[in-house]
Structure 1
Amino acid sequence: MVKGAVEDMSPEGQGQVKTWTEPSTIKSKGLRIYNSLARAKVPFHASELVTWYICGPTVYDSSHVGHARNYVTFDILRRILEGFFKYHVHYVMNVTDVDDKIISKARRNYLLDQFLSTASHLNEVLSILDTAFEEEYSKQESKVKAAQKEFDKATSRRKDELSEKIKQEELKLQKIHELNALVKGREDKILANGGKAGIDMLLADGVSDILASYLDAKEGSTVTDLAIFRAHAAKYEKEFLEDMQSLGVKPPTVLARVTEYIDIIIAYVQKIIDQGFAYVANESVYFDTRNFQEAGHTYAKLNPWAVGSSELASESESNFDSREKHNSCDFALWKASKSGEPYWESPWGQGRPGWHIECSAMASHIIGRSVDIHSGGVDLQFPHHDNELAQAEAFYGCSQWVNYFLHSGHLAIEGLKMSKSLKNFITIREALQKYTARQLRFLFVNQAWDKPMNFSESVMSEAIAKERQFQNFFKIVKNVLRRMEIDGESYVKGFENVQKWGQEEEEFANLLAITTSQVRERLEDNFDTPGALQALLNLSSGVHSYLDKRAAGNLLPILVKEAAEYVTQILVIFGLSTANVSNEIGFGSELESRSGGIESLVAPYINAACSLRDEIRAAAKDDLSKAELISIADQFRDYKMVDLGVRIEDSSSGTVWELCDVDTLKNERSEKLRKTREATIKSLQLKIDQKSKDIENFQLASIDPKDCFQKQTTKYSKFDDRGLPTHDSEGKELSKKAMKDAEKLMKKAEIRHEKYKEKLAVQPSFIENLKSEVKDLQEKLQELETCQ
């Protein structure tokens, strides 16, 4: 091991020099990654077996898209290390299944269920809810004041960070006020509904969280059944793992559940005490940051500017009496239990692990005294990861436990930090109802892994557009190869044409060579997946260009196939394709996952073909029109084939098809139907407006021209034999200009009236017919607007 100095060019520490121990005994493969410990991009040195520890979920609630950003992002990086750089990765992830948040959430859910099962009247619930809102508002006001106080005494480095914190707390305060106003506004309707319906209405939109928080503050200590906590954690752990599977995240090599490592954690804490870096106080154990630093160690390597922040330092000390600490920066390794909390026996009394010690102990036990990569969200840098590092270095007596710390960038929802209290919380399951797993993965591949990102309609549209570009590329290539009878098992067919290369082939081959070089260059530069993705898209454009140039000439399909296979290979590495890269091009299909032999594989397609044949035969017997036959064909394309994962499109060279993800095709169909529906609604409204205007015009034309002016008694007083006005309302004779204008209007009215009479003579009920047509159109419009 040698000491390597890395200049810190971050805005916070420009000009400072940070030391970082660079593992140089193993030759780098050219990869450079951004290491939070060095605050710079550095060469990645590791043996063929890379040890990686990732902070897993605290399973107290449903996973959201912020979790997806973290776990999918690091899954992509892991796949690149394994699939592109050919490392073997030993991937360890923890599950925190005992924690303040889990304890609080489990207790609150239990107490809320108990309360609602015994509440006798809605008025009683409303009365208690009033008090709950008052207390919640007061509690949140205190948080705003505390954040402001922290801001006032903070250094300039942390002003921006704390300014955002104040904004978030103020927004939460506003949301509590708005929620209370919402309850007040629908109180009469709630009471009118009564019973369960009234309670469901009352506790909608997050109101139940306010009531549960109040109940927990009053009665939380009475919850003694420890199975309540375990059942809660088990439920959300299972949900998290299912979400990861849905997103295509590879399972970890080792899943470390905290409650299964309590004995390891206790022994780990005891050794830190024995080393002189922790102390026992009131049956709890605290890490001694002063002793640690006086022994020559560095505390808070990742975020030294956060040291002393009461808001951050107390993050893992919430709901816990920590007045026995020797120093405000000290943190709990073991927490003495209170009533209403799960606990384990220890040398210091009944208690449970602190948040930070769990990861240090389990990672040390599974991986050892040196971890190649440790990863997590950027918000975990301090205090969690800095405290992890301190604990492990105290345990081993070393100066560096982790070689590379990777932190994924923060994810915001429409510019705001995701929060249930702000109502911008999107669960993974909700996101997967709108987007496919591949589309979400495209989103993360298309973003720099270590930079902040915003989750919005626009960035998702960009990700989906990239997916469609690749879909179109694969579709065109596969249909070209299919027409030339070149597939994964064909060999001779690819060489039947003239094989001499022309300028087009030389340019194509050069582009492929450039692309492979660019992809390597981008991935070696801190896993630049957006850059690599763009290089692949440039190659796909080159393929389109080559096919266009060779449309009427000698096409060499082997070149096209090689380029498509390379694109597929990289997309497989990114986890964007499930294709078998040895013989398949594209995103892969569901066919691979089916079993049961050739019959079960082809049965759905044969059934669909037989069904189409039956419909055509029936249509022939009924002598259906050409339009009706086309409708049958389109229904087959848009429904039966889509539901089987087949996209069919019409082209100048005939029908083209491709196997595709079913959810993607269904989403495309839904979007097409939505646009068609919107266009139909717009067309109906235009027709209604036009016909309503026709009715209005015809009703105006029905008036006898003589009556047009004579009814305007407030404007005119005398008229001639034709009904033209001659004097104004005061008896004064009209000017020549006014008489001339009235004459023009009279002529228009006479012409309009004559046309009206002619129309009436031919079609006496035409106005009634128009009104009936408008009514029918309005009914169709209403039906479209109300249908789901």
Structure 2
Amino acid sequence: MENNLEEKEITTKLKLINAFTKNKDIFTPSRGNLIRWYICGPTVYDSPHLGHARTYVSFDIVRRVLENYFGYQVTYVMNITDIDDKIINKAKETKMEVSDACKIITKKYETEFFEAMDNLNVQRPTFTTRVTNYVEKIVTFIEKLMEKGFAYESEGSVYFDLVKYRENFKHPNFVNESAINEETEQLENIYKKKNKIDFVLWKKSKEGEPVYNSPWGEGRPGWHIECSAMASDLFKDGLDIHSGGCDLAFPHHENEIAQSQAFLNSNLWCPYFLHSGHLSIDGLKMSKSLKNFITVEESLKNFTPRQLRILFLNTNWWAPMTYKLESMEYSKKIEAKLMNFISISDSFIKNSEIEDNFKNVTDQDSMILEILENTKISIHEAFCDSINTFKVLTAILNLITVIHQKIENLSIRVIYVAKQYVVSILNLLGVVEEKKGFDSLDQDVLKLVCDFRANVRK
């Protein structure tokens, strides 16, 4: 079986579902085993909700697999958007000066976001960038686009000339060509632009808003330019992976590509775009604008971080999913089955005698070892299949079911080897690393172990 696994590793290559090409593509980073990855971070104007959790936990899982299974070295950069219309609108609801309120709001919700991610066992980015720390470099980025003829000033704002860009560069479309670029601008701004589809790079300031200096007067950066400038500052000549929720595909990621390719004079700024699927509730996308969201903090009052991670593992990162209490109950059952297996295996191992390690392999042992090797092959193929966590989790659960049925007749070494493999995969996926939410589960598992051992003795 070992030779078969080696053969699979040689012939099976990692493929990723790529929104850029709309295909499942073989993953080939431009610098060997080094990956340059930029993920769109949160706009910090409210508490993080389960839609955020779905995106960042899912890409945390993808990152862990790339690093710890495939052996890539990942530089993972995430931005914090702390200049935005939504932040300004929230600040205007207070009785404070808007600029002061914006600082308080963004600090509060940035802190909440990282606390939520820590509680969900999401690894911190290699680098985190804030828009407010990058305004000067954003201005420089815009100036270079203007020098190249791809941007123009109009009445104190600066726009990207998308028509001229498309005359010079290949431009992917995440949506149909007929779609019209809709910015969060006043309709009157359309008449300040050369072309209806041009988008804003620098917004002229309005009374009472936070302002920053620029060659075009006081204003603030547009949404799309922020990510392009920050990504290009850390990754000078392009990325390997860009990720975010599928709702960012258009216009945000399309416009990022346009700005960045024009800036670099390149037809390929980033070859792989990974978009996580929507999280829906009651048939609608979970979002703050629809006011149908459940915050991470609220969810963690009822469910453990591990149960939420299992929920997301049970649906592939690119697929849409629906949040239901029934789904959470199923995640709890999966969690109990996984932890039950580990605890029962540990109990058998702990209570074994030294001589048990030297017993001959039985037919039952051989059967389980063969199933284990086939499971390893299946899981390898699943990881290569765009990191298909649904297949991985299914394979682990099937293995556990078979071992559980035979465990009383298996040698200690076989139990140990199988348990170690299961733990290694769960550890790889971030399932067995959390530090919170264990106490009540451990008590349940201990009872299950005692009940199980009592039953098998009857």
Q: Compute the displacement of 1:351 (Å).
A: 0.5
Question: 2:246 corresponds to which residue?
Answer: 378
Question: 2:4 corresponds to which residue?
Answer: none
Cα pair 2:244 2:276 within 8 Å, conserved: yes
Question: 1:277 corresponds to which residue?
Answer: 150
Q: Compute the displacement of 1:414 (Å).
A: 2.2
Matches within 5 A, 1:69-84: 69-84=54-69
Q: Compute the displacement of 1:317 (Å).
A: 2.5
1:105 is aligned, of 80, 87, 90, to: 90
In structure 2, what is the Cα distance between the partners aligned to 1:412 and 1:589? 27
Secondary structure class of the residue paired with 2:192 = coil
Cα pair 1:412 1:454 within 8 Å, conserved: yes
Secondary structure class of the residue paired with 2:42 = coil
Secondary structure class of the residue paired with 1:402 = coil
In structure 2, what is the Cα distance between the partners aligned to 1:99 and 1:225? 12
Tell me the TM-score normalized by structure 1.
0.54
Q: Does 1:64 align with 2:49?
A: yes
Q: 1:655 to 1:482 in 2, by over 3 A?
A: farther
In structure 2, what is the Cα distance between the partners aligned to 1:237 and 1:497? 53
1:529 is aligned, of 389, 395, 399, to: 389
Question: 1:248 corresponds to which residue?
Answer: 121
Secondary structure class of the residue paired with 2:446 = strand
Q: Compute the displacement of 1:316 (Å).
A: 3.4
Q: Does 1:365 align with 2:365?
A: no
In structure 2, what is the Cα distance between the partners aligned to 1:503 and 1:644? 33
Q: Compute the displacement of 1:366 (Å).
A: 0.5
Cα pair 2:305 2:436 within 8 Å, conserved: no
Cα pair 2:162 2:198 within 8 Å, conserved: yes
Question: 2:425 corresponds to which residue?
Answer: 570
Q: What CA RMSD, in Å, does the superposition of the two structures yield over aligned residues?
A: 2.3
Superimposed CA distance per residue, residues 128-148 of structure 1 (whole angstroms, 9 cap, x where no aligned partner): xxxxxxxxxxxxxxxxxxxxx
Question: 1:298 corresponds to which residue?
Answer: 170
Q: 1:76 to 1:653 in 2, by over 3 A?
A: closer
Question: 1:517 corresponds to which residue?
Answer: 377
Superimposed CA distance per residue, residues 760-780 of structure 1 (whole angstroms, 9 cap, x where no aligned partner): xxxxxxxxxxxxxxxxxxxxx
In structure 1, what is the Cα distance between the partners aligned to 2:394 and 2:101? 50
Q: 1:337 to 1:241 in 2, by over 3 A?
A: same
Secondary structure class of the residue paired with 1:226 = helix
Q: 1:247 to 1:419 in 2, by over 3 A?
A: same
In structure 2, what is the Cα distance between the partners aligned to 1:88 and 1:498? 40
Cα pair 1:280 1:348 within 8 Å, conserved: yes
Matches within 5 A, 1:12-91: 30-46=13-29, 47-91=32-76
Q: 1:484 to 1:359 in 2, by over 3 A?
A: same
> Which amino acid letter does the alignment assign opposite residue 272 of structure 1?
L
Secondary structure class of the residue paired with 1:348 = coil
Q: 1:366 to 1:404 in 2, by over 3 A?
A: same
Q: Does 1:260 align with 2:245?
A: no
Cα pair 1:28 1:44 within 8 Å, conserved: no
Question: 2:106 corresponds to which residue?
Answer: 233
Q: Compute the displacement of 1:643 (Å).
A: 9.7
Tell me the TM-score normalized by structure 2.
0.91
Q: Compute the displacement of 1:248 (Å).
A: 0.5
Q: Does 1:558 align with 2:402?
A: no
Question: 1:202 corresponds to which residue?
Answer: none
Q: 1:294 to 1:319 in 2, by over 3 A?
A: closer
Cα pair 1:308 1:329 within 8 Å, conserved: no
> Which amino acid letter does the alignment assign opposite residue 283 of structure 2?
G
Secondary structure class of the residue paired with 1:433 = coil
Question: 1:466 corresponds to which residue?
Answer: 334
Gaps of 5+ in 1: 1-26, 112-222, 486-492, 579-586, 592-640, 657-788
In structure 2, what is the Cα distance between the partners aligned to 1:45 and 1:572? 26
Q: Compute the displacement of 1:652 (Å).
A: 6.4
Question: 1:169 corresponds to which residue?
Answer: none
Cα pair 2:39 2:244 within 8 Å, conserved: yes
Cα pair 2:157 2:216 within 8 Å, conserved: yes
In structure 1, what is the Cα distance between the partners aligned to 2:184 and 2:147? 24
Secondary structure class of the residue paired with 2:76 = strand
In structure 2, what is the Cα distance between the partners aligned to 1:522 and 1:256? 33
Q: 1:643 to 1:40 in 2, by over 3 A?
A: closer
Matches within 5 A, 1:369-448: 369-420=237-288, 422-448=290-316
Residue identity (%) = 42
Q: Compute the displacement of 1:107 (Å).
A: 1.3
Q: Compute the displacement of 1:645 (Å).
A: 6.0
Q: Compute the displacement of 1:463 (Å).
A: 1.7
In structure 2, what is the Cα distance between the partners aligned to 1:409 and 1:92? 21
1:648 is aligned, of 434, 440, 446, to: 446
Q: 1:258 to 1:307 in 2, by over 3 A?
A: farther
> Which amino acid letter does the alignment assign opposite residue 319 of structure 2?
K
Q: 1:655 to 1:421 in 2, by over 3 A?
A: same
Q: Compute the displacement of 1:473 (Å).
A: 1.1
Give the helix-richer structure, 1 or 2: 1
Q: 1:477 to 1:395 in 2, by over 3 A?
A: same
Superimposed CA distance per residue, residues 162-212 of structure 1 (whole angstroms, 9 cap, x where no aligned partner): xxxxxxxxxxxxxxxxxxxxxxxxxxxxxxxxxxxxxxxxxxxxxxxxxxx
Matches within 5 A, 1:726-737: none
Secondary structure class of the residue paired with 1:305 = coil
Structure 1 range deviating more: 468-477 or 343-352: 468-477
In structure 2, what is the Cα distance between the partners aligned to 1:367 and 1:454? 35
Cα pair 1:97 1:258 within 8 Å, conserved: yes
Gaps of 5+ in 2: 1-9
Secondary structure class of the residue paired with 1:472 = helix
Cα pair 1:519 1:535 within 8 Å, conserved: yes
In structure 1, what is the Cα distance between the partners aligned to 2:112 and 2:435? 26
In structure 1, what is the Cα distance between the partners aligned to 2:238 and 2:12? 20
Q: 1:588 to 1:507 in 2, by over 3 A?
A: farther
Secondary structure class of the residue paired with 1:33 = strand
Q: 1:422 to 1:276 in 2, by over 3 A?
A: closer
Question: 1:191 corresponds to which residue?
Answer: none
Superimposed CA distance per residue, residues 493-535 of structure 1 (whole angstroms, 9 cap, x where no aligned partner): 2x44652222111111111111111100111001111101111
Q: Compute the displacement of 1:448 (Å).
A: 1.2
Secondary structure class of the residue paired with 1:371 = coil
Runs of 4+ that moved beyond 3 A: 318-322, 419-423, 495-498, 587-591, 641-648, 652-656
Secondary structure class of the residue paired with 1:248 = coil
In structure 1, what is the Cα distance between the partners aligned to 2:97 and 2:210? 8
Q: 1:409 to 1:653 in 2, by over 3 A?
A: closer
Structure 1 range deviating more: 461-470 or 560-569: 461-470
In structure 2, what is the Cα distance between the partners aligned to 1:642 and 1:293? 58
Secondary structure class of the residue paired with 2:292 = coil
In structure 1, what is the Cα distance between the partners aligned to 2:237 and 2:274? 18
Q: Compute the displacement of 1:446 (Å).
A: 0.6
2:349 is aligned, of 459, 481, 492, to: 481
Number of residue pairs aligned between Structure 1 and Structure 2: 443
> Which amino acid letter does the alignment assign opposite residue 403 of structure 1?
P
In structure 2, what is the Cα distance between the partners aligned to 1:457 and 1:507? 38
> Which amino acid letter does the alignment assign opposite residue 104 of structure 1?
N
Secondary structure class of the residue paired with 1:86 = coil
Question: 1:454 corresponds to which residue?
Answer: 322
In structure 1, what is the Cα distance between the partners aligned to 2:369 and 2:452? 28
Cα pair 2:357 2:413 within 8 Å, conserved: no
